[in-house]
Structure 1
Amino acid sequence: MEEDHLSPRPAGVPWEQAGALFVAGTTAYAAVHAVKVERGETVVVSGAAGGVGSLVVQLARHAGATVIGLASEPHHAWLTRHGVIPLTYGEGVGERIRAAADGTIDAFIDTFGAPYIELALELGVPGERINTIIDFPGAAKHGTKAEGSAAAARAEVLRELASLIADGELEIPVARVYPLDEVRDAFRELERRHTNGKIVLRP
């Protein structure tokens, strides 16, 4: 491996959190930068308490945006602690978003999948300010963005994210740590899609 592809782990960053940066962290970073989040804007994030979504909402808040996060009710307290306006997904979510935004919705980041691209368009968000990390057919159909980890898989991005963790400005919630021989249980939990943060395998 080339030396410039490596990034040091700050002493204050646990291995479990550092290990999540290369995929979840870089994906979240790419998604926020894809929609060009700016201070004072309003951004909606679907899957806001998941492994990537939980980082997206924090990075968007760090950029100075008002963030509306869609998640199940058990995760609303975590989102509130991080300055996010939590909303429950499901029937009527569009009206709940409009009421919470109380004005223009500038960008939408989808970390869950269909039907959120269509919802974002219905809410009046321009296609170039919608990014999905999972609904690639929807992005191709509607001409929205679909940037993920590959767009930010650079050592300098990892250093920036690790510094935010070390400075207490970014939290990587770890839902559960599994030993490697329990990998099947880890995947079963992952498939339920109700975890707050990352599921970690420890070799």
Structure 2
Amino acid sequence: MRAARFSRFGGPEVLEIVNLPEPHPGPGQVRIAVRAAGVNPSDWKNRKGLMDQELPQTLGYEAAGIVDELGDGVTDVTVGDPVFGVCAEAAAQAELAVLSVYAPIPPSLDFPAAAALPATIETAVRALDQLGVARGSTLLINGASGSVGSAAVQFAVARGARVIGTAGAANHDYVRSLGAEPVTYGEGLTRSVRALAPKGVDLALDVAGSGILPELIGLAGGAEHVLTVADFAGAQKYAVRFSRGDSGRALHALAEIGELIESGRFEPPAVRAFPLAEIAEAHRVSEEGKWRGKLVLLIG
């Protein structure tokens, strides 16, 4: 099967499409014929050698496609079902992939839109779970217009929270359409937030990593009410919780997202798709960080 891989660290030029043996599912897993696979910042960080990966390295943690082989004990799907989910290993950007966690693709979504969901919604829900966001909470989200931020806004609103979200002025209408009250990030943020919430907020979530943890701590009344998924150094410096996947994944989000999408309470991120052969260009766009939505590779 064709799969994306790199055998040395470096720029997008080290990426290659190679032929690898077909994978097979273990107990409780399914194999899919991949139609689309997500591209995430962790891909180019791995490629550049920033995450202590061994070589050679395949890529991709999220995919959508058609079930073509079942592992022992799987009874909730059948061969031919369209599903999306999380790859058992970093090997989703291939013609075949084994999913350890999966869910039916919501009827209104195509394969690229479904492949864009797993990492985004898992990160957003994990952060909200760890913060304890619930009905009646007032939550400040720093970076509300990006893929993870916009997902966090919508999940928080669905829980009954009031959400204030930072974004550039050009994205205020978008953030507002998701159910949040937008404020402009940068100088004057504290003043802008207090104009909406004079007593501050209950909780704050940083998904942008833009160096404003001190302001979030002040607005939320203490570091214990703040969580970041993007500023590891700042979290250590200011005693703020840092959430990462190995601290307990919120994989229940995959099973829950379909009902929210079909009821009109969740708008999936905008998708920009590239053929597998153009994976290097997808990495360049991801590394630039200018695309607000999600990048995916089209396969099969």
**TM-score, normalization by structure 1:** 0.88
Residue 249 of structure 2 corresponds to residue 152 of structure 1? yes
Q: How does 1:81-120 map to 2 (within 5 A)?
A: 81-120=177-216
Deviation at 1:175, TM superposition (A): 4.4
| Aligned residues: CA RMSD | 2.0
User: In structure 2, the residue corresponding to 1:121 is in which secondary structure?
Assistant: helix
Q: Measure, in 2, the Cα distance between the counterparts of 1:19 and 1:168.
A: 19
Question: How far is the alpha carbon of 1:3 from its aligned partner?
Answer: 2.3
Partners of 1:25 and 1:52 within 8 A in 2: yes
Report the 3-state secondary structure (helix = DSSP H, G, I; strand = E; otherwise coil) of the residue aligned with 1:3.
coil
**Superposition pairs of residues 1-203 of structure 1, within 5 angstroms:** 1=25, 2-3=27-28, 5-150=101-246, 151-154=248-251, 156-203=252-299
More divergent stretch after superposition (127-136 vs 161-170): 161-170
Alpha-carbon distance between aligned partners in 1 of 2:112 and 2:229, rounded to the nearest angstrom: 23
Which deviates the most, 156-165 or 184-193?
A: 184-193
Which segment drifts farther, 51-60 or 91-100? 91-100
Runs of at least 4 residues of structure 1 off by over 4 A? none
- The structural deviation recorded for 1:135 is 0.8
Bigger radius of gyration: 2
Using a 3 Å threshold, how does the CA distance of structure 1 residues 55 and 73 change in structure 2: closer, same or farther? same
> For residues 157-181 of structure 1, what are the alpha-carbon distances to aligned partners after superposition, in whole Å with 9 as ceiling and x for unaligned?
3111233223322111214222233
Say whether the 8 Å CA contact 1:29–1:59 is kept in structure 2.
yes
Q: What letter is aligned with 1:95?
A: R
Q: Is the contact made by 2:116 and 2:295 (CA closer than 8 Å) also made in structure 1?
A: no
> More strand per residue: 1 or 2?
2
Larger deviation, residues 2-11 vs 82-91: 2-11
Contact 1:114–1:138 (Cα < 8 Å) also in 2:
no
Normalization by structure 2: what TM-score? 0.62
Q: Which residue of 1 aligns with 2:71?
A: none
Return the alpha-carbon distance in structure 1 between the equivalents of residues 179 and 274 of structure 2.
30
Compared CA separation, residues 171 and 114, structure 1 to 2 (3 A): same
Which structure shows the bigger proportion of residues in helix conformation?
1
- Give unmatched runs, 5+ long, in structure 1: none
Relative distance call for 1:33 and 1:153 in structure 2 (3 A) is closer
Equivalent position SS for 1:123: helix
State, as a whole percentage, how many aligned pairs show the same letter.
34
